[in-house]
Structure 1
């Protein structure tokens, strides 16, 4: 697992974690925003009218209403990215990361408009009578690039696990264990059975489920968030100011948080923004292809609402709750996961300004600085280091009150071998105080509000509904890709593997799952962005024709 995690980190460094990727993603959204005349602003009101059913026509081709298509797509985007993903972005990049999530969402509203319009325009009817659409169809029938369409479909199948399946149940299981003490394997088993029951019913059952659950979960989460903000009204404005003040400079070190450079905050904010709203990834067009509509542009307008609801509203709530509660800089008792653990040479303290700067640079990827990974032997007696020759870092913070245990959970005594900052013997466990990230950080923030410890329950239930509905929506995206690649007969086998993967991820390494998600997103996004850029003239003409027809009416 360690080798796999290192391989995923290497791929992420080449792709989503690389400096060029945020510019490609934001640049595409900015290009279409200017090229099409700010459609996310011009058509926002019309999108609201369409989604209220003003233009629904039941005799039109398709299987769902505009609202059901929107909620299905939203169920695919409103998931762990809104709870665990925002917390992970702040954990990595501080307040500055939230600003770049907003920027990704604003430009992503146009990207969604484009990709959904084109997908709906070139959708096809499958052999079983259902509608099949998505970027692979506009790549094949709009661009005549079968190889690109096939590459995207394969990437969609992979991403259905990396985005919609594995990280969702992983966070659900973590939240259920934290809030109710339920073992992850039990959570995974029960929800895997429920997942199978829903997805076997196809898009109609999925749409019926999500159209009821999505509004409910949004209201529940809003109540919990407002309960926290009401307890810390004096921190609300400073939290917003910190987001803007740090946007172009990076986030300064605070408490246990060791700081983040502009480049790191920018990259992680854009990356997590994409994970949250999926604008440019090409997933939502697959859901919207099922909508009853014969006018592709109108369905594209509905999609404008997704990044707004997902990121501008829900992610902002999560981010401001975390910042205003102050938990993002505090250390808590943790069982250290190997993927989050680094041991560095020398004694370092986060109470020393110079040490904080050096440690922050090291965690930001600076291998030429003063901080170096430890290699050699460490002596441990009765669960504690004998000599202060190394510092344990966990969750991007200096770990405190560290205790070493053997495979049986008893205090460890003896020699421990460390290679390049990693333990050679993974049976040795460590626990102590360090920063939190992902859903655990959001859960802690919600406990600092009006509802107290019950806030954790709100996060747990919200995460359960958010993430489970995301897994359901992504099963549909994956099976449409399988239909494109291998025909309708392949769907049943895909669904079996999808459910088994869902169960496995409930008790696997958290960081491994998130790193897989980061890679999966990018391999799906890049071919989609290429496709919509190549069809830019087609898109502009479709918009002109739509406006001309509306004027005639």
Structure 2
């Protein structure tokens, strides 16, 4: 039975993340970039000023909403997760160092895609019966394209509900338990045979923590995210920069391998990986898996922001992709490549490859710190995707089902802590691709609205 499911999933996955996905994701990103005059580059200084410049400004959000900074932290909570650690390692192992180059390309174009998604989400959002702001792809498709396109909004929401339990919860919890188990085994605190009972306890604890945050409503989600995300991102960046600085002599050669390997993978991997398209595919798919540009999920959090300026909030989307992929994913890639750890090209790899990059530089003691970083990354992703799932299921049914959904979503943590999730990772990647299709169609058809809003906003600024 499992073999049949795996075979079906592989066929669907290869199609979705094959040529059609490359054309859609890269194509829509390039189309939006050209139509906006590469707003992600022209207005990048303004995006930094709008985002980083407001970190220390205290502002209270009105009822049923978050502050703009809480919204970006919640969206970053959903994006900055195990994809930055395990996803990058997997892309390099299967696609070679050149996959990192294609990750950069997808991020550069994805910055404009996410800017457009966020702008549309804030512009077409609405209030639910509790008075909370609700928005995202399903709402800008419904309110922007009309009732004839509602089926696309329903498809997006259905794929979203199916995705959150795997991508947003079970796989993340599995990463937390793996990281803690590895650290404790390395320090001889527990034996490998006793991890089962510990994982069950961890699953119950995570379930309670997730439930407390999500059932506390939109304000508690925003409050937890704005405290957790900056801490975990800074903590990881400092650790990773240390590895790069201590191995600074290898950095020029690594950048050569990344750029040269993007077009000639076999020359860098010793002939193990010879497919240019495989390198490109893994770089783009894992980049999207990490920064979610094209999936539209981040715009669901941004739609909750207490702001009346869609384009200004869209600047947070540009910053988000930059922080997630250009900064954090690049640092992860450098940790693996400059540390000199052997990479088994052509074979699957995950977080253990990234951790080995840290331990090769700092020693075994650092595994406890990487475990803390991975726990923070994974927990923040669970919180962010919990909000996404709640909004998707509310769109399909009503606000009455949110509370039962939150409880069910929290309980999945126990499953994620105690079950082997190899196949679930692959299925989660497939559903991510399925979510992207209706969203990219909606973004493409509504691009004119986003461009008009952008021109009007910057004309007023002048």
1:73-112 to 2 correspondences below 5 Å: 73-112=75-114
**Which residue number corresponds to residue 164 of structure 1?**
168
Other structure's SS at 2:262 match = coil
**CA offset at residue 226 of structure 1?**
2.4
Q: Would the alpha carbon gap of residues 185 and 57 (structure 1) be closer, same or farther in structure 2, given more than 3 Å must change?
A: closer
Deviations 1:469-499 (A, max 9, x none): 0111100011011111111111122112212
- In the alignment, which of 296, 299, 306 is matched to residue 285 of structure 1? 299
Does the Cα contact within 8 Å between 1:72 and 1:473 map onto a contact in 2?
yes
Does the Cα contact within 8 Å between 2:207 and 2:412 map onto a contact in 1?
no
**Which residue number corresponds to residue 13 of structure 1?**
14
Taking the aligned partners of 1:297 and 1:230, their CA distance within structure 2 comes to 38
- In the alignment, which of 263, 272, 277 is matched to residue 277 of structure 2? 263
1:32-181 to 2 correspondences below 5 Å: 32-51=32-51, 52-53=53-54, 63-144=65-146, 145-181=149-185
- In the alignment, which of 437, 442, 445 is matched to residue 531 of structure 1? 442
Taking the aligned partners of 1:104 and 1:502, their CA distance within structure 2 comes to 31
**CA offset at residue 254 of structure 1?**
4.4
Taking the aligned partners of 1:530 and 1:475, their CA distance within structure 2 comes to 25
**Which residue number corresponds to residue 215 of structure 1?**
230
Does the Cα contact within 8 Å between 1:11 and 1:519 map onto a contact in 2?
yes
Higher helix share: 2
Taking the aligned partners of 2:301 and 2:223, their CA distance within structure 1 comes to 13
1:71-470 to 2 correspondences below 5 Å: 71-144=73-146, 145-181=149-185, 182-183=195-196, 184-252=199-267, 254=269, 258-329=272-343, 396=347, 437-449=349-361, 451-470=362-381
> Once structures 1 and 2 are overlaid, which stretch shifts more, 175-184 or 38-47?
175-184
**CA offset at residue 324 of structure 1?**
1.2
Structure 1 unpaired stretches of 5+: 331-359, 364-395, 397-435
Taking the aligned partners of 1:87 and 1:186, their CA distance within structure 2 comes to 29
**CA offset at residue 225 of structure 1?**
1.2
Other structure's SS at 1:327 match = coil
Structure 2 unpaired stretches of 5+: 186-194
**CA offset at residue 251 of structure 1?**
4.3
Taking the aligned partners of 2:181 and 2:313, their CA distance within structure 1 comes to 40
Taking the aligned partners of 1:240 and 1:166, their CA distance within structure 2 comes to 35
Other structure's SS at 2:129 match = coil
Taking the aligned partners of 1:489 and 1:115, their CA distance within structure 2 comes to 27
Deviations 1:383-434 (A, max 9, x none): xxxxxxxxxxxxx2xxxxxxxxxxxxxxxxxxxxxxxxxxxxxxxxxxxxxx
**CA offset at residue 161 of structure 1?**
2.1
**CA offset at residue 62 of structure 1?**
5.8
> Once structures 1 and 2 are overlaid, which stretch shifts more, 85-94 or 188-197?
188-197
Taking the aligned partners of 2:251 and 2:48, their CA distance within structure 1 comes to 29
**CA offset at residue 125 of structure 1?**
0.3
**CA offset at residue 523 of structure 1?**
1.0
Does the Cα contact within 8 Å between 1:61 and 1:294 map onto a contact in 2?
no
Other structure's SS at 2:351 match = helix
Deviations 1:146-177 (A, max 9, x none): 11111111111122123212221122222111
Which structure has more relative contact order (CA 8 Å, sep 6+)? It is: 2
Taking the aligned partners of 2:264 and 2:115, their CA distance within structure 1 comes to 31
**CA offset at residue 301 of structure 1?**
1.3
Does the Cα contact within 8 Å between 1:62 and 1:293 map onto a contact in 2?
no
> Once structures 1 and 2 are overlaid, which stretch shifts more, 217-226 or 80-89?
217-226
Higher strand share: 1
> Based on CA coordinates, which of the two structures has the bigger radius of gyration?
1
**CA offset at residue 178 of structure 1?**
1.2
Q: Would the alpha carbon gap of residues 243 and 59 (structure 1) be closer, same or farther in structure 2, given more than 3 Å must change?
A: closer
**CA offset at residue 328 of structure 1?**
4.3
**CA offset at residue 14 of structure 1?**
2.0
Does the Cα contact within 8 Å between 1:192 and 1:500 map onto a contact in 2?
yes
> What RMSD in Å do the two structures reach over aligned CA positions?
2.0
Taking the aligned partners of 1:250 and 1:59, their CA distance within structure 2 comes to 49
Taking the aligned partners of 1:538 and 1:135, their CA distance within structure 2 comes to 14
**CA offset at residue 22 of structure 1?**
1.6
**CA offset at residue 189 of structure 1?**
2.5
